[in-house]
Chain A
Amino acid sequence: MEEFTVIGKRISKVDAVDKATGRALYIQDFKLPGMLYGRILYSKYPHARIIKVDTEKAKALPGVVTILTGEDIPPIRLGVYKDNPPLKSGKVRSCRDEVAAVAALDPEIAKEAIDLIEVTYEALPAIFDPEEALKPEAPLVHEDHKTNVLKMPWNLHYGDVEAARLEAAFNVQERFTTTWVTHCCMGTSGAIADFDNSNNLTVYTNTQIPSLAQKDFQETLKALGVKDRRVRVIKPSIGGGFGSKLDTYAYEHLAILLAWHARRPVKILFEREEEFLATSPRQPTVTYISMGCDREGKLLYRDMSMVLDNGAYTSWGATTPSVMMMPITSLYRVPNVRYTAKCVYTNNTYCQAMRGYGNPQATFAIESAMDMLAEVAGIDRVEFRRINCNQPGDVTPQGLQITSCGMPECIDAVSESLDFGRAGEKGIGTGLASLIHVGGGARIYKSDGCGTIIKMDDYGKVDVFSGASDMGQGADTVIAQIVAEELGVKVEDIHVFHQDTDICPWDVGAHASRTTFVAGNSALGAARKIRLRLLAMASKATGVSEDKLVLKDRAFFAEGSPILPLPKLLRSSHFTPKGQMMMADNFYDPENENMGRDFRGNMSATYSFGTHGVRVKVDEATGKVEILDYIAAHDVGRAINPMLLDGQVHGGVLMGVGYALTEQVILENGRNMNPDFRDYKLLTAMDAIHSKPIVIETVDEKGPFGAKGIGEPGCVPTAPAIANAIYDAVGVRIRDLPITPEKVLAAIKKKKGAVSCGIDVFTQKEQPCE
């Protein structure tokens, strides 16, 4: 076993003291001299023609500086499909459509001005069901697009699913749905835009993609006719990300446009209700799955199709099928797979990345169906998964190259910790589900790279300038640990800068659980360059050969004794004629592949695996589900910081439990009916479950010190594990998330043969069960 001084240690997050003393500054806490406050007017209708926007009264209000409508701005199109202008003109397509924006001296005046803007609409027929939106008679959300189906075909077929279906001894088929859930970052969205006299732009914003945001903001400048100016993106401390900040949004571009017109800095800060109404939730899905196995329980095929409610505009939600393909083709060994997904415009809210990026939706269907198939085949659920388990060395039908793979160990660990035998006690049941996720970056863009610059000062203190983004997950700390280990210093000697594009190198963003792997390898490479130079210098200074020198604890050691303090060597390198500065840069881009036209390609340099097991108690009188035990085993390659790792797992699991049982953004005719924390049911400390993380270390050969990504996996298999446990407990299969007590109770009653499940409070009529 290798001996590390910093790697593998439970080290506190490096900014924890600032955060625990109130010193850390979030966008909420930033104020620039002369700053104005911006506010956005949203549409009253899910689908309507804008006849007239009258801003005269608002303009007359003292303290109002600038008002913009869709007619006042140059053509700017946001998002991956370039279908979303920051202010709409002509037509609104969802209730969150931005119709006008105001900048005023204080937030109250801005609010009042918004209320004074008079918009005349002509309501249009709207469409809210994605399957209905596919029909030829459905209203078109974007007329010039000619169809509601996005021209983003997600189709793959490897092997021969139909032949395999004929061959299979056992088959299941089912329909599953998932709905909108939202990130609920505790810090709401906000941005400040500030131009200098030469039209260079600084944007303070909550983002997980500083370098790509810089490019988006540059596009907006270009639309304004401003060329060749600098765009600087500064990230304050971020009050939670979870994928919500992987795109730039209308409010950021509106802050820029308002600041441009007002010639003063403009801040737009969302209130909580606005955060619920105008940010993009997780992509909902309608999934049809069929799956079959042979007599021995070997999976023969998996056939899935999905309809995705894209909402009115397009962001990363529409590309979640690219990640869903991973579990669909590669969760367990399955030789024949087919998948097709259609993203369909509706007049609902548009969707975004959220922790797991489609994987939780796909895994809910796959792992629920795995239990159904095991039952049909008469094979024990755990054994069925062992039979089909991914193994090191596998190449999956999609071309994913499985290198390190701890899934067998994860299944073993969970089955050892949780008794999957029949519990006997009424209403108690167990369930399990596994996951595969990208663990070594994910080549979504042409680059999956990240840059690092490291410099050392006279005293052995180290500044690390990283492209990584920390939004609370601990990227700053993990990078500090990696560099400290390599340079033989302590974590407190290291300062990681990741907040400013003027200072920090390029990176594609904090997504795909890639930061520890990609930014970690980038930092490790930069530190290694410095280490080699330090060793050469130390050898020259001491006369001891490099291979006999050990750099640790801020000194060079020979034969176990310290012979040269590191700061002394650094000083001498500065205070010597023709001296040198200890500084290095490194750009790391992992050896992974873009997907080809057939969607084949090894998208990640390595993959993370995990298995969750859960024991639940279902109250048959109320349908309420209680979680008694929760085991989360994850193959993480190596735990660089077991404490932060536990934090990712605990947090991911509870987010997954919310996804499974309580959370939903309720949209009725495109309108958000629960835009607050009272009605959006987040779990609290009272609901906190005692989840037990189990860490499986497979020490991946490509990972920094062997580590793989773990940011997202914690919430991936949670919902199906719980759904499977509910089935085990009371024999009802819930196919639609969230699994509310109402759904469980209705299913229990239906199973018992009840024809009525009570009086509907709205219609006062008997309602059928399900």
Chain B
Amino acid sequence: MNKQPLEITVNGESYSLAVEPNRTLLELLRDDLDLTGAKEGCGEGVCGGCTVLMDDKPVRSCLTLALEASGRHITTVEGLAQNGELDPLQQSFIDHGAVQCGFCTSGMLMAAKGLTLSKPDADNKEIRDAMSGHICRCTGYTKILEAVEAVVDRSKEKR
């Protein structure tokens, strides 16, 4: 297959690449850019493990072609911490015991990040909605929801 040019920004770094048209964003991130934080749990957009942000909106990178991300800004879990400081969501997941086996964690974090960016004052129902497309087999979701709620509540208090 003929490779096509792709200009893409990932975690703030710009890349000029050539990719095959059938390459998924997940393959590009994991195999070409060595960003293995996003995980393939099902490969068909159901489990949410591969979620990354495209221009601050959560997308399933296993269902997104790399070329669809042309000119876009992608954020992966590796790009959440800034200058060595964990994102409040990462810290909250850690503090609340929301991480067990950790395979769903990066997708969960990116979904939560997408929500807090688009709706910083989300209520608990909206948090549940935002996280409901993500499967976790370890936690029963309780602590994941608590971790997200705590960050949203804190940002509400600040304002």
Residues of A within 8 A of B (CB): 10, 12-13, 15-26, 28-29, 183-188, 237-242, 271-272, 471-474, 643-644, 646-647, 650-655, 676-678, 682, 684-686, 688-691
Bound CA span A271–B40, Å: 9
Number of residues from B at the complex interface, CB < 8 A: 52
Contact B101 A272 (CB under 8 A): no
Contact A688 B141 (CB under 8 A): yes
Query: Which B87-140 residues have a C-beta within 8 angstroms of A?
Result: 90, 93-97, 99-106, 109, 128-129, 131-140
Out of A21, A186, A271, A688, name the residue touching B137 (CB < 8 Å). A186
29 A-B residue pairings within 8 Å (CB atoms): A13-B97, A13-B100, A16-B93, A16-B94, A20-B90, A20-B93, A28-B40, A185-B101, A186-B103, A186-B138, A188-B41, A239-B101, A239-B103, A240-B101, A240-B137, A241-B101, A272-B42, A473-B100, A646-B142, A646-B143, A647-B138, A650-B140, A651-B100, A654-B140, A655-B137, A677-B47, A682-B135, A682-B137, A685-B132
Say yes or no: is B44 at the interface (Cβ < 8 Å to chain A): yes
Contact A21 B42 (CB under 8 A): no
Contact B100 A677 (CB under 8 A): no
Closest chain A residue to B78, Cβ basis:
A22
Contact B138 A472 (CB under 8 A): yes
Out of A23, A272, A651, A677, name the residue touching B138 (CB < 8 Å). A651
Bound CA span A684–B142, Å: 11
Bound CA span A99–B94, Å: 44
Question: Per-position contact with A for B30-63: 1 when CB-CB < 8 Å, else 0?
Answer: 1000011111111110110100000000000000
Out of B42, B96, B137, name the residue touching A242 (CB < 8 Å). B137
Contact B101 A474 (CB under 8 A): no
Bound CA span A646–B49, Å: 23
Contact B133 A272 (CB under 8 A): no
Bound CA span A676–B78, Å: 28
Contact A13 B46 (CB under 8 A): no
Bound CA span A443–B89, Å: 42
Bound CA span A253–B136, Å: 29
Bound CA span A183–B101, Å: 13
Bound CA span A688–B146, Å: 12
Interface centre among B77, B106, B139 (most CB of A within 10 A): B139
Hey, which chain B residues are within 8 Å of A654, CB to CB?
A: 140-141
Q: Mostly helix, strand, loop or mixed at chain A's interface?
A: loop
Hey, which chain B residues are within 8 Å of A651, CB to CB?
A: 100, 137-140
Interface centre among B90, B136, B140, B144 (most CB of A within 10 A): B140
Shortest C-beta distance, A491 to chain B (Å), equals: 13
Shortest C-beta distance, A693 to chain B (Å), equals: 9
Say yes or no: is B17 at the interface (Cβ < 8 Å to chain A): no
Bound CA span A677–B35, Å: 25
Shortest C-beta distance, B106 to chain A (Å), equals: 5
Shortest C-beta distance, A604 to chain B (Å), equals: 24
Hey, which chain B residues are within 8 Å of A18, CB to CB?
A: 102
Say yes or no: is B18 at the interface (Cβ < 8 Å to chain A): no
Hey, which chain A residues are within 8 Å of B36, CB to CB?
A: 22, 25, 28-29
With A183-B137, A686-B128 as given contacts, are A21 and B97 in contact (CB-CB < 8 Å)? Answer: no
Bound CA span A28–B129, Å: 29
Interface centre among B80, B96, B137, B144 (most CB of A within 10 A): B137
Contact A237 B102 (CB under 8 A): yes
With A19-B102, A21-B77, A28-B39 as given contacts, are A644 and B97 in contact (CB-CB < 8 Å)? Answer: yes
Residues of B within 8 A of A (CB): 30, 35-44, 46-47, 49, 76-78, 80-81, 86, 90, 93-97, 99-106, 109, 128-129, 131-145
Bound CA span A272–B48, Å: 13
With A13-B100, A688-B145 as given contacts, are A20 and B137 in contact (CB-CB < 8 Å)? Answer: no
Contact A647 B42 (CB under 8 A): no
Hey, which chain B residues are within 8 Å of A655, CB to CB?
A: 137, 140
Shortest C-beta distance, B96 to chain A (Å), equals: 8
Shortest C-beta distance, B27 to chain A (Å), equals: 10
Shortest C-beta distance, B41 to chain A (Å), equals: 5
Closest CB pairs A-B (n = 6)? A22-B37, A472-B101, A19-B102, A239-B103, A654-B140, A650-B140
Bound CA span A22–B75, Å: 12
Bound CA span A12–B92, Å: 10
Shortest C-beta distance, A745 to chain B (Å), equals: 25
Contact B94 A676 (CB under 8 A): no
Shortest C-beta distance, A664 to chain B (Å), equals: 16
Shortest C-beta distance, A39 to chain B (Å), equals: 15
Closest chain B residue to A714, Cβ basis:
B140
Hey, which chain A residues are within 8 Å of B93, CB to CB?
A: 16, 20
Bound CA span A241–B102, Å: 12
Hey, which chain B residues are within 8 Å of A22, CB to CB?
A: 35-38, 76-78, 106
Supply 20 further A-B pairs (C-beta < 8 A) apart from A20-B102, A242-B137: A13-B99, A17-B90, A17-B94, A19-B99, A19-B105, A22-B77, A28-B39, A28-B40, A184-B135, A185-B103, A186-B101, A240-B101, A240-B137, A472-B101, A643-B96, A643-B97, A644-B97, A685-B141, A689-B140, A691-B142
Contact B46 A678 (CB under 8 A): yes
Hey, which chain B residues are within 8 Å of A272, CB to CB?
A: 41-44, 47
Bound CA span A271–B140, Å: 24
With A12-B94, A187-B103, A677-B47 as given contacts, are A685 and B37 in contact (CB-CB < 8 Å)? Answer: no
Bound CA span A459–B96, Å: 30
Bound CA span A603–B158, Å: 55
Bound CA span A472–B136, Å: 12
With A19-B102, A22-B36, A688-B142 as given contacts, are A184 and B137 in contact (CB-CB < 8 Å)? Answer: yes
Contact B97 A186 (CB under 8 A): no
Shortest C-beta distance, B62 to chain A (Å), equals: 10
Shortest C-beta distance, B102 to chain A (Å), equals: 3
With A12-B94, A647-B97, A677-B135 as given contacts, are A21 and B86 in contact (CB-CB < 8 Å)? Answer: yes
Bound CA span A473–B133, Å: 23
